[in-house]
Structure 1
Amino acid sequence: MVSEELLLRLNDSEYKNWLKAGRCLLILKSGLHPFTSQHMRGFHRDLLTHSPGLRRPCETNACRPRGNKPSWACRVCSEWKTLILAHHRQPNVTVHWDNCSPPSWGTDFWEVAKAYMPRGQGKVKGANQCDASALLNLINFCDYFQTVDPKIVREVIQYRNDLMHSCELRMKDEWMRRYQTTLKHFVRQFSHVPQMATVGKEIDEMLTVDLSVCVSGLDQMDAATAQGLECDSFGQSRAIVDLVSQWETELLQEKLQELLHTDDDEDAETRDTEQLKRLGGFLQANRDLGERFSAELQAIDSLQAR
């Protein structure tokens, strides 16, 4: 049975904007997976070709960052660190070394890629496990991505941050119009990547689809056409609402994972606490979401009790 809470959320235009904008990020990351994998594999190969000494194994096999500090003494891993920074567009920003396993740099190109990503990537083994934020930051910070304008990448990152840090989970129509324009400019940078042509089309469809529902009937979706979201029967309508619910779950899960990840930065921790409080209130106010994310709500309660 489709929950009445979900149907009510889908009749809130600004919440629908948040949901649709977030779904665009999920579509975008699927197109970036093969592109980033291919480029980082080539980047890794070029580094090994120009610096054959990097092929040597870690001299201790025990080089590990302590927290986020590059404290290893091995000459091979230190050389890797130097080269990673040399190809970092902003080496003075915080580099999350704790994402990486330095002894694997010589054999695993994705361990190198993670040095250019936000925190929390330590267990990620490939592009297909990354969210949009991780891939966008990789493209922004690693100078091997020469065909993409970093300014446009940073604009998409800013919109992504606006979206995921929205305490109310609601985005205004004007924000959506600017977001759509920026995504169009971004996707245009990848005209040479076949997968991104499909991504651009799917994003356009998602941003124009109407996800409204008829609350009185609890079963009829109005004019949903994106990605096959066309319904003319009860069964199709239920399937569509179930699909939208799945998108919603993915977005909320990503937001929860980001907020629940511990951070040593005191200001960030204060900000996350306030967002967690508001998000916890939203989940509790929507019974279906409260049940789905009961474990995360317990974690939020535990953090707030400290």
Structure 2
Amino acid sequence: MVLSELVARLNCAEYKNWVKAGHCLLLLRGCLQGFVDREVLAFHRGLLATVPSLGPRATCRGGSRCSPGPRQFQPQCQVCAEWKREILKHHTHRNGDIHWGNCCPGRWPVDAWEVAKVIKCRNEIMHSSEMKVSSGWLQDFQMKIQHFVNEFRNIPEIVAVYSRIQQLLTSDWAVHLPGEDQQDGCEGETGIYLSESQVNEIEMKLLKEKLQEMYLQAEEQEMLPEEISDKLKTMKAFLRDNEDLRKRLMEDMRRLDSLHLQHQKEDSEEPGEQDA
């Protein structure tokens, strides 16, 4: 890793804000996963128990990949069909429209609006072409995280990570150069000290997730081809100026480029096919 490139990136306050906010969200997601998995499992076990014809030990006959649960349904499997009917019964308006507003166990101590605010922040970070957010945005983000965590105040693993998130958001995150005096934001002042390799790993996780998000958007064609092209150009320009990141993200970029070129080729062939 070229340390000078990392230092130059962190000299941009808006980029550093982007990395800090993204890292806090990754920490929050990590401590939420176990809790959510446990609650969702209990929730769907409860749903299964409400289907008398199935019972809690119902087995699926749709094949090795078929599992009667919220993610996989095989139309030829009776267990899956009844599961689907039971779940949709809880999420269908009188006019037949499907909604998912109540798709959570009633025991969850969560205000959905506070969750939605944090999800919006996450989307703004992932969809930021320049990977920059203002200091004002970061302060607002900190308040939203505080309100979010307060909703989960009875979940120890979430409360435990919040103090670290607060420290990360308020620290300067100046990188300590070997052989030099520690700069503002190092351990003596805030209790947070990250080496250049640690900061770089955080950057890599965020950038990989961003590229994965772009890939999924391109795959599902959720963005116009011009939007994807613009985002790719911005990312390529960023990586050209940061060789240390470019080398490690080369495969991710190649994969995204390949998909984008494939879609461009398909779009260019469509008029000819229609004429034929």
TM-score (norm 1): 0.71
Distance 1:159 1:251, change over 3 A: same
- Please state if 1:169 is matched with 2:137: no
Aligned to 2:274: none
Assess, with a 3 A threshold, how the Cα gap between structure 1 residues 74 and 227 changes in structure 2: closer, same or farther: farther
Aligned match of 2:58: 56
Q: 1:109-128 residue pairs with structure 2 within 5 A?
A: none
* Match in the other structure for 1:124: none
1:144 aligns with 2:105: yes
Following TM superposition, by how much is the alpha carbon of 1:279 offset from its aligned partner in structure 2, in angstroms?
1.7
- Equivalent residue runs for 1:51-130 within 5 Å: 51-52=51-52, 53=54, 55-61=57-63, 72-88=75-91, 92=98
Q: Which amino acid aligns with 2:248?
A: R
In structure 2, give the amino acid aligned to 1:277.
K
Map 1:1-306 → 2, pairs under 5 A: 2-52=2-52, 53=54, 55-61=57-63, 72-88=75-91, 92=98, 142-144=103-105, 146-213=108-175, 220-225=182-187, 229-230=192-193, 240-261=195-216, 265-268=220-223, 270=225, 271-306=227-262
Question: How many residue pairs end up in the alignment?
Answer: 251
Distance 1:280 1:201, change over 3 A: same
3-state SS, counterpart of residue 186 of structure 2: coil
Aligned residue for 1:268, secondary structure, equals: coil
Q: How far apart, CA to CA, are the structure 1 residues paired with 2:235 and 2:133?
A: 15
Paired with 1:85 and 1:275, the residues of 2 have a C-alpha distance of 37
More moved, 22-31 vs 294-303: 294-303
Counterpart Cα distance in 1 of 2:211 and 2:223: 15
**How many angstroms does 1:62 deviate by?**
7.1
Unaligned runs of 5+ in 1: 94-115, 117-139, 231-238
Unaligned runs of 5+ in 2: 263-276
The 10-residue stretch of structure 1 (36-45 or 203-212) with the greater mean CA deviation from structure 2? 36-45
| CA deviations over 1:178-200 (Å, ceiling 9, x no partner) | 11111111000011111111122
| Cα displacement (A) at 1:43 | 1.0
Alpha carbons 1:6, 1:245 under 8 Å: kept:
yes
Q: CA RMSD in A?
A: 3.3
Match of 1:126 in 2: none
CA 1:261–1:2 in 2, change beyond 3 Å: closer, same or farther? same
Given that 2:218 and 2:259 are in contact with CA atoms closer than 8 Å, whether structure 1 keeps it comes out as no
Retained in 2: the 8 A contact 1:89–1:143?
no
CA distance in 1, matches of 2:256, 2:44: 40
**Separation of aligned partners in 1, 2:256 and 2:58:** 45
The TM-score, its normalising length taken from structure 2, stands at 0.78
Q: Which has the larger radius of gyration?
A: 2
Partner of 2:267: none
Percentage of identical aligned residues:
36
Shift of 1:287: 0.8
Contact in 2 for aligned 1:2/1:218 (Cα 8 Å): no
Contact 1:155–1:182 under 8 Å retained in 2: yes
